Each structure stands twice: as structure tokens, then as C-alpha cells.
């Protein structure tokens, strides 16, 4: 039997009862990676072996993920294991500690795969093409992108090269690739999951979250990684509910808001009709649908590209050739040798998109432009948040497409950064307003590409998302479809 | 903004960001940033009168904790990744002329 095709919750049971041996599962998974990863390229450093960090289960009696191999995005710190954000500037970086989410997974018995998953450099992108390791392919069509920036994590789960994965989401970087690859992806409420050990992109927007084969796995992983962490001053000290317990509660009487601004120009007609069918399915399961309005939606992308780049330009100042990673050789110039070292290291180490964002962020924070750009964006962010506050007075959950299109072609948007930015149009608002949002597979285009439906809820209402997505998933078959890859 | 002026601005901002750009890069980035700033100008249409800025989504405030000594990273571990070091220090090019 092909055990690597199973979900985490199925494997936990089989491993526990001894019907599957841990060694056998791991061996099968490694063979699977060897077979299909040369095509998919979900993992970084092609050709190097995949091992696992030993579990820390002996420290804990509660091991809900015992023996489950999990793949990790290249921007989440793993002690002694290369973590390079797919950037030349972090070449050779082996973190001296585990991120809190990694420690929690290891204590829960999970096996952390030591070859990280591919991503856009520093999570700057929506296609996983901006990586110093090259592009990842979409398992459903190798000529297309897997989405991004957690494209490697999403592809590894879709291609059965990992049982589940962790990614990070600053403007859609978990949900959009989940949608493109036909898997489940959750961006938790800001503050729900510790960011300690996540290499920062935009600190007021970043969250770590799971990418999984089904909704129950998503709840299971979330149960392990959520919670207060004294090492992250923005993590929130409120109890974590039992996510799995509420899965089967059904959605009879749940009010679902459909924002009219999300179904207008720019949306692919096939995506629109697939999501509309999914909404009809939610109705037939007992949900009450009503139209809601998020009037400032059109400002979300410009607000995001000011705030996220401003925070990124500040966070990336630490990559200067002193503490870790690359240092460019000294040049013989009349200028300050220290400043020259900074400039040449950063010039050589950062890729094109990183440079673009550092420049844009530095610009909007600089003297003379701060009020007109950065401060204005912070104020419009307030308006976007107020839109959601008002909408959630009228509904429990908001449903939209995750992305306006299905997966696009490799290379298609690389020369047009603005078009690339617009592919995040439906996901960005959840980060700006801090709310949780989940993408669940809801069908396919005629070309056989997965489409995702996005569910959004009030802060800390992840339970509502799980409940709604689970009811939908159990009533449909999409999560059972697999791409055909390798010999299978 | 003319392309020449944008290139001047990009050169200035790149200096602030301590980012070396090649001639070709400068030209391409200037064009793209012009495009992006044009798009961002859309924000001028939003009515922000009397609206407070949101820099953070949670109602966070500073809390002082007790000063309890705890375990911290030993120096040799903190220095492990340094491209250049000497003893317990990072080494850098000459800073003072």
C-alpha cells in the first residue's frame, strides 16, 4: 500500500495500532520524493538527501502527530538545519535554535523533513519563481506555477511528497498556493501562532499556518502549533479551543456573507462559476447566504504594497554581511569600507524582487514621502479593517474565491511585477485586518486545474472556518482527487 | 515623474537602503517602480479625513515583566554563522578613518 498518499489523521491511527511501521512510511516517502521531485522541485537543494530531525517526543506524553513527516518552508528556523529563505544572502545559514512551531511539532511527535520547501525569496512573490534554487512546478500541470510564496510547501503536499506542511502567509502566501495546488491552507488570526523563529517579512502581517490534504489535518496541525508564546510579544494569551471537536457540528443556520466586490471584473469566468457552485452547496447544507459589502476592497493591494514593503525594508536591514550569510569581498574604494561592504553584500545577495521591495519600502518611509505614502496607507488600512468589522456584524463567515484565476504559466508574470501583485487581490485583506482565512479545494477548471474557495471569519474564530470547510469537504469529492505524477 | 528623475530618486533611495545596483538594474527598477507608484496613487481617492492609522491589528501595549535571569544563546552559538569572526566578536571592515 502507498502509505504516503494518506492523511496525517489516517496515518496516526495506523501507526498507533502498528498496522504501519514508521520506518516503512519514511522509506516510502523518501522514494516518492526521489521519484517525483525531479519534476515538481518542491524541495530546495535538488539531489541532496532528505532526512528527518529526531522527534522530541520523549519530552512529552501527548504525541498527537507521532511519526508524521512534515515539510517546512525555507523561512522557518530549524536547529542546525539549513534555512536560507531561498536567498543567496542567507547562504549556509544554520539556525542555532528551533522556531516555536518546530519545537511544538517535534514535541508532538512529528518528524521534520530536513530539506526545506521552496519559496519566493524572503516570501516576496506569488509564484515561487523568485527563488535562488529555481522555480517549483505545479503538480497538476508542470508547465504552471504552484502559486506562492509557500509554493514548495503546497506542491509537496499535493504531490504526496509530504504528509503535511508548514508555510507562512503575509498577503496570501499559504492560501493562494493551496488553491493553485488543490490542498487546504490556513492563515490563522494574527497573534494565534507564535512567529518566534519565522524569518520576518512584514511583522504586522506574517503568520505561520498549515497546508494539508484535508480539513481535519489542518485542524490537527493547528491544534499543535497555536497558542501563546512568551518569546513572541505579539502572540495572544487566550486559550486554544479544541479544533477537532467542533469539526462535525455542521453549518445549519450559519450565515455566510458574499462580498459583491469580489465577484466583479478581473475574475476568471470559470473560477467564478466553480465558486458559485460551491456557495450553492453550502446553501444546500443549511447555510444562509447574504450579500455583504466590503467597499474599500479596491485599495487593499496598494495599501499592502506600501505597508508590507516598508516593514520588509526595515526587517531586511539585518542582512548586512556581519552576523550570518553572505559577505562580499572588500573593494578598493575611497568610500567608507564598512558602507561599501554593506552595499556590495546586499547588491550581490538579494534577488530582483527583494531589491524592488526594499527600494519601494525605503522610499515610502523616507523623509518627504512618509505622510503621502506610508501614513496614508495605514489610514486606509483602518478603513479596510472597519469594512470587515461591519460585515461580521451581519454574518459568521465570508466566502470568496481564493484567487481570481487558477494557476498561471511559469514565466507568464515575471516581467510584470504589477500583474503578479494583483494575483493576491482576494487574500491580502485578511492580513491587513488580522482575521483568519482558509482555502479549501472546490473544483477544477476545464483544463483540470484546482480552484480554491476562501472562507474568512472574525478574529480567533478558526473553529468556524474548520466547521464550514469540513462540512463542505465531506459533501464533495475534490479533496480525493490527486494529480498524476511519476509512474502512478 | 520623468524617467531621468526616477533614476535619480532610485539612486538616492538605494543609497539609504545600502543597496548596490548595476546600471541596467537601475534603469529597469526605475521603470517598474514608476509603474507601481502610478498604481499606488489610487490611494489618493480614499477619504481618510479623521481616520486614525492602524500600524498594528491587535490592541498591543508595552508590558514590563520581572527581570528574571534566563538561559540565553552562548556566544559561540551566536557566532556560528558569522562570515568573519575573532574570539567572541564579529569582525567587520574598518569603520573609523
In sequence order, the 6+-apart residues with CB closer than 8 A to the CB of A385 are: A432, A433, A434, B54, B57
On whether any CB of chain A is under 8 Å from the CB of B75, the answer is: no
- The ranges of chain A with pLDDT < 50 are 488
| Rama region for A125: left / alpha / beta (φ>0; ψ in -120 to 50; rest) | left
Tell me whether residues A380 and B46 touch, CB distance under 8 A.
yes
Minimal Cβ distance to A94: which of B16, B46, B81: B81
A246 is catalytic: no
- Please state the φ and ψ torsions of residue A169, each to the nearest 5 degrees: -135, 115
Question: A152 to chain B, minimum CA–CA distance in Å?
Answer: 25
Q: Each residue's pLDDT tens digit in chain B (97 positions)?
A: 677 888 999 999 999 999 999 999 999 999 999 999 999 999 999 999 999 999 888 877 777 888 999 888 999 999 999 999 999 999 999 887 6
The dihedral through the CA atoms of A227, A440, A353, A97 has a sign that is: positive
Q: Say what the pLDDT of residue A309 is.
A: 98
- Residues A82 and A45 sit within 8 Å (Cβ to Cβ): yes
Percent helix, strand and coil across chain B, each to the nearest 5 = 40, 5, 55
Tell me whether residues A191 and B58 touch, CB distance under 8 A.
yes
On whether any CB of chain A is under 8 Å from the CB of B36, the answer is: yes
Structural domain boundaries enclosing B9: 3-45
- Residues A220 and A70 sit within 8 Å (Cβ to Cβ): no
The dihedral through the CA atoms of A336, A340, A342, A343 has a sign that is: positive
Question: A94 to chain B, minimum CA–CA distance in Å?
Answer: 7
Minimal Cβ distance to B43: which of A204, A303, A358: A303
Which domains are delineated in chain A?
3-257+393-480 (3.90.1300.10)
Q: Say what the pLDDT of residue B60 is.
A: 72
Q: Per residue in B73-89, is it b (16+ CB within 10 Å) or e — as a string?
A: eeeeebbbbbbebeeee
Domain-embedded: residue B84: no
Q: Say what the pLDDT of residue A391 is.
A: 98
**DSSP reduced 3-state for B15:** helix
Look at chain B and report how many structural domains it folds into. 1
| B85 sits in which H/E element | strand B85-86
Q: Say what the pLDDT of residue A58 is.
A: 67
**DSSP reduced 3-state for B12:** helix
Those of residues 189-208 in A touching chain B at CB distance below 8 A are 190-191, 204
On whether any CB of chain B is under 8 Å from the CB of A360, the answer is: yes
Residue B10: closest C-alpha in chain A: A359
On whether any CB of chain B is under 8 Å from the CB of A357, the answer is: no
Q: What is the 3-state secondary structure (H, E, C) of chain A?
A: CCHHHCCHHHHHHHHHCCCCCHHHHHHHHHHHHHHHHHHHCCECCCCCCCCEECCCHHHCCCCCCCCCEEEEECCECECCECCCCCCHHHCCCCCCCCCHHHHHHHHCCCEEECCCECCCHHHCCCCCCCCCCCCCCECCECCECCCCCCHHHHHHHHCCCCCEEEEEECCCCCHHHHHHHCCEEEECCCCCECCCCECCCCCCCCEEEEEECCHHHHHHHHHHHECCCCCCCCCCCCCCCCCHHHHHHCCCCCEEEEEHHHCCCCCCHHHHHHHHHHHHHHHHCCCEEEEECCCCHHHHHHHHHHHHHHHHHHHHHHCCCCCCCCCCCCCCCCCCHHHHHHHHHHHHHCCHHHHHHHHHHHHHHCCCCCHHHHHHHHHHHHHHHHHHHHHCCCCCEEEEECCCCCCCECCCCCCCHHHHHHCCCCCHHHHHHCCCEEEEEEEECCCCCEEEEEEEECCCCHHHHHHHHHHHHHHCCHHHCCCCCCCC
A149 is catalytic: yes
**Residue A349 burial by Cβ neighbours in a 10 Å radius (0-12, 13-18, 19+):** buried
DSSP B95: -
A403 is catalytic: no
Domain-embedded: residue B19: yes
- Residues A166 and A72 sit within 8 Å (Cβ to Cβ): yes
The dihedral through the CA atoms of B41, B44, B45, B50 has a sign that is: positive
Alpha carbon distance A404, A175 (integer Å): 12
CATH of the domain at B9: 1.10.20
> Cα–Cα distances in Å, from A143 out to A1, A449, A474, B75?
30, 12, 31, 47
Q: Which of A126, A149, A156, A179 is labelled catalytic? A: A149
Q: Which residues of B touch A305 (CB under 8 A)?
A: 36, 40
Q: Which residues of A touch B78 (CB under 8 A)?
A: 96
On whether any CB of chain A is under 8 Å from the CB of B76, the answer is: no
What digits encode the pLDDT tens for the residues A67-91? 999 999 999 999 999 999 999 999 9
Query: What ipTM describes this predicted complex?
Result: 0.94
On whether any CB of chain A is under 8 Å from the CB of B11, the answer is: no
Instruction: Name the residue among A107, A81, A163, A391 with its Cα closest to residue A262.
Output: A391
Domain-embedded: residue B27: yes
Domain-embedded: residue B95: no
Question: B2 to chain A, minimum CA–CA distance in Å?
Answer: 17
Domain-embedded: residue B38: yes
Domain-embedded: residue B15: yes
Q: Which residues of B touch A380 (CB under 8 A)?
A: 43, 46, 48, 51
Tell me whether residues B36 and A92 touch, CB distance under 8 A.
no
Domain-embedded: residue B69: no
Q: Say what the pLDDT of residue B97 is.
A: 65
Amino acid at each position: 500500500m502507498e502509505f504516503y498518499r494518506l492523511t496525517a489523521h489516517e496515518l496516526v491511527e495506523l501507526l498507533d495500532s502498528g498496522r504501519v511501521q514508521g520506518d516503512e512510511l519514511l522509506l516510502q516517502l523518501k522514494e516518492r520524493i526521489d521519484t517525483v521531485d525531479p519534476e515538481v522541485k518542491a524541495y530546495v537543494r535538488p539531489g541532496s538527501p532528505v532526512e528527518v530531525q529526531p522527534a522530541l517526543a520523549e519530552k512529552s506524553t501527548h504525541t498527537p502527530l507521532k511519526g508524521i513527516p512534515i515539510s517546512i518552508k525555507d523561512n522557518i528556523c530549524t536547529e542546525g538545519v539549513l534555512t536560507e529563505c531561498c536567498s543567496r544572502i542567507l547562504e549556509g545559514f544554520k539556525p542555532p535554535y528551533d522556531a516555536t512551531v518546530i519545537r511544538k511539532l517535534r514535541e508532538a511527535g512529528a518528524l521534520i523533513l530536513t530539506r526545506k520547501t521552496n519559496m519566493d525569496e524572503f516570501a516576496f512573490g506569488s509564484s515561487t519563481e523568485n527563488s535562488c534554487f529555481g522555480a517549483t512546478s505545479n503538480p497538476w500541470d508542470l508547465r504552471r506555477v504552484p502559486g506562492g510564496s509557500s509554493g514548495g510547501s503546497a506542491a509537496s503536499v499535493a504531490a504526496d511528497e509530504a504528509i503535511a506542511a508548514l508555510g507562512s502567509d503575509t498577503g496570501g502566501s499559504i492560501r493562494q498556493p493551496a488553491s493553485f495546488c488543490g490542498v487546504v491552507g490556513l492563515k490563522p488570526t494574527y497573534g494565534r501562532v507564535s512567529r518566534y523563529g519565522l524569518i520576518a517579512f512584514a511583522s504586522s502581517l506574517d503568520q505561520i499556518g498549515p497546508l494539508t490534504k484535508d480539513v481535519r489535518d489542518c485542524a490537527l496541525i493547528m491544534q499543535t502549533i497555536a497558542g501563546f508564546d512568551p518569546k513572541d510579544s505579539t502572540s495572544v494569551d487566550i486559550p486554544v479551543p479544541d479544533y477537532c471537536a467542533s469539526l462535525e457540528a455542521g453549518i445549519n443556520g450559519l450565515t455566510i456573507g458574499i462580498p459583491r466586490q469580489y465577484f466583479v471584473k478581473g475574475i476568471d469566468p470559470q473560477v467564478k462559476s466553480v465558486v458559485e457552485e460551491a456557495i450553492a452547496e453550502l446553501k444546500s447544507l443549511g447555510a444562509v447566504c447574504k450579500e455583504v459589502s466590503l467597499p474599500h476592497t479596491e485599495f487593499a493591494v496598494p495599501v499592502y504594497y506600501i505597508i508590507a514593503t516598508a516593514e520588509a525594508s526595515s526587517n531586511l536591514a539585518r542582512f548586512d554581511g556581519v552576523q550570518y550569510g553572505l559577505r562580499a569581498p572588500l573593494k578598493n574604494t575611497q568610500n567608507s569600507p564598512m558602507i561599501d561592504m554593506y552595499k556590495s553584500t546586499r547588491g550581490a545577495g538579494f534577488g530582483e524582487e527583494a531589491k524592488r521591495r526594499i527600494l519601494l519600502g525605503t522610499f515610502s518611509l523616507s523623509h518627504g514621502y512618509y505622510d503621502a505614502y506610508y501614513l496614508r496607507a495605514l489610514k486606509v488600512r483602518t478603513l479596510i479593517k472597519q469594512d470587515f468589522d461591519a460585515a461580521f456584524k451581519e454574518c459568521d463567515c465570508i466566502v470568496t474565491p481564493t484567487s481570481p484565476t487558477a494557476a498561471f504559466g511559469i514565466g507568464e508574470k515575471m516581467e510584470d511585477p504589477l500583474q503578479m501583485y494583483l494575483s493576491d487581490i482576494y487574500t491580502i485583506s485578511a492580513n491587513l485586518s488580522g482575521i483568519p482565512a482558509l482555502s479549501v479545494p472546490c473544483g477544477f477548471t476545464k483544463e483540470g486545474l484546482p480552484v480554491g474557495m476562501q472562507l474568512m471569519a472574525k478574529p480567533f474564530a478558526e473553529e468556524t472556518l474548520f466547521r464550514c470547510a469540513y462540512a463542505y469537504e465531506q459533501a464533495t469529492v475534490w479533496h480525493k482527487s490527486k494529480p498524476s505524477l511519476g509512474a502512478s | 515623474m520623468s524617467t531621468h528623475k526616477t533614476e535619480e530618486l532610485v539612486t538616492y533611495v538605494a543609497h539609504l537602503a545600502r543597496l548596490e545596483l548595476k546600471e541596467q538594474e537601475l534603469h529597469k527598477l526605475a521603470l517598474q517602480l514608476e509603474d507601481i507608484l502610478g498604481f499606488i496613487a489610487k490611494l489618493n481617492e480614499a477619504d481618510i479625513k479623521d481616520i486614525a492609522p492602524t500600524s498594528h491589528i491587535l490592541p498591543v501595549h508595552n508590558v514590563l515583566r520581572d527581570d528574571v535571569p534566563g538561559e540565553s544563546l552562548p556566544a559561540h552559538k551566536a557566532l556560528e554563522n558569522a562570515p568573519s569572526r575573532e574570539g567572541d566578536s564579529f569582525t567587520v571592515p574598518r569603520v573609523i578613518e
